[in-house]
Amino acid sequence: MHILIFGASGHVGTGLARHLSASHRITGVVRSQPVARAPYAPVLVPDWVDRPRSVIDELTRTDAQRVDAVIAAVGGWYVDEAMIDRGIASFDKDYSSYLRSHFAACAVTQALADSGTRTEAGARADAGASAEADRSAESEASAEADRSAESEASAEAGRSEQIRHLTLNGVASVEACVGSGAISVFGAAQEMLLRVAAAESRSVLFRELKVMAPIGGDDRNDLSGGVETIGMSAVADAAGEVLSRPGDFELTTQLKV
Ligand SMILES: NC(=O)c1ccc[n+]([C@@H]2O[C@H](COP(=O)([O-])OP(=O)(O)OC[C@H]3O[C@@H](n4cnc5c(N)ncnc54)[C@H](OP(=O)(O)O)[C@@H]3O)[C@@H](O)[C@H]2O)c1
């Protein structure tokens, strides 16, 4: 697969790129050029959140291979004072880093699907769906049975070829994390963002991977008291499985220690 990663410069994005590049082509959307050699091909779009369309333009300009899947690992992590004490400016900033960025990443994936960068088989599946709509005027019961079998097959084929969008989320989205409150608020909303996008889109398969423990190697995590971590390779394996076989996974999957 050709996987496009948002948040490629971050701990999770870079780690996923490093692991997944063994078997996939990885392009990372970045706001500034990486200073060191990166495990992804960087595509520099400083204002991709405000102008999601510019990502498509840049991919087109650089003649990039068709994108099969998108990973959104944007956001980050902090533990600080209480959410309300941090004030509205801090809340706005976190909205930008979390929910707003995830919205923009979803918008890019939808635009990729709409602009025909998806596979031909995906387009054939859509053609099958519209042919089905035409046929719905027919009234015989036997035709109805044929139609539903055909539609089932077409939906299956479409599922295997639609662009996939995987968003990374964490335990803060299901627990009120003291000192990381806005991350909890926007993490919880992130799942609903995906649910709405999934309900409204015929051409993108939206999935979420909730990593329910700190990911190994992130120095920002407080591991005192024997907190267990999840290794980056386990996260990458899980992400790879969801992207390869999205039909086997619900909209959201929890990865536990
Ligand atoms: N780290 C963990 O232990 C852990 C555990 C569970 C789940 N997760 C999930 O993994 C995801 C990524 O976390 P991380 O640890 O990799 O964070 P990170 O190291 O802080 O990286 C954050 C990434 O998001 C980008 N970003 C932040 N604010 C942005 C904005 N306003 N506009 C555009 N891009 C922005 C950053 O880009 P720039 O470099 O350009 O700023 C960077 O690439 C989060 O959603 C988190 O819920 C992480």
Per-residue pLDDT at 149: 59
Look at ligand 1, atom 39, and give the residue with the nearest C-alpha: 9
* SS3 state at 45: coil
Per-residue pLDDT at 160: 55
Domains of the chain by residue range: 2-118+162-255, 120-161
Task: State the closest ligand 1 atom to the C-alpha of 30, by its place in the atom list counted from 1.
Answer: 40
If you measure from the C-alpha of residue 244 to the centroid of ligand 1, how many angstroms do you get, rounded to a whole number? Answer: 23
Spatial separation of the C-alpha atoms in residues 248 and 112, rounded to whole Å:
23
If you measure from the C-alpha of residue 10 to the centroid of ligand 1, how many angstroms do you get, rounded to a whole number? Answer: 5
Where residue 37 falls (left for φ over 0; alpha for ψ -120 to 50; beta otherwise) is beta
Neighbours of 53 (CB within 10 A): 12
Per-residue pLDDT at 223: 76
Each residue's pLDDT, cut to its tens digit, for the chain (257 residues) gives 999 999 999 999 999 999 999 999 999 999 999 999 999 999 999 999 999 999 999 999 999 999 999 999 999 889 999 999 999 999 999 999 999 999 999 999 999 999 875 444 344 434 444 444 445 445 455 556 555 656 555 555 455 579 999 999 999 999 999 999 999 999 999 999 999 999 999 999 999 999 999 999 887 777 787 889 999 999 999 999 999 999 999 999 999 99
Contacts by 224-227, CB closer than 8 A, 24 or more apart: none
Closest residue by Cα to residue 11 from 52, 45, 50, 39: 39
If you measure from the C-alpha of residue 120 to the centroid of ligand 1, how many angstroms do you get, rounded to a whole number? Answer: 33
Per-residue pLDDT at 134: 46
Q: Best substitution site from 4, 12, 55, 194 to test ligand 1's pocket, by max atoms within 8 Å of Cβ?
A: 12
CA distances for 61 relative to 26, 55, 65, 182, 254, angstroms? 17, 10, 11, 37, 37
Which of the listed CATH numbers 3.90.226.10, 3.50.50.60, 3.40.50.720, 3.30.460.80 matches domain 2-118+162-255? 3.40.50.720
Neighbours of 174 (CB within 10 A): 16
Order of strands across the sheet that contains 163-170: 41-44, 25-30, 2-6, 69-72, 163-170, 204-211, 252-255
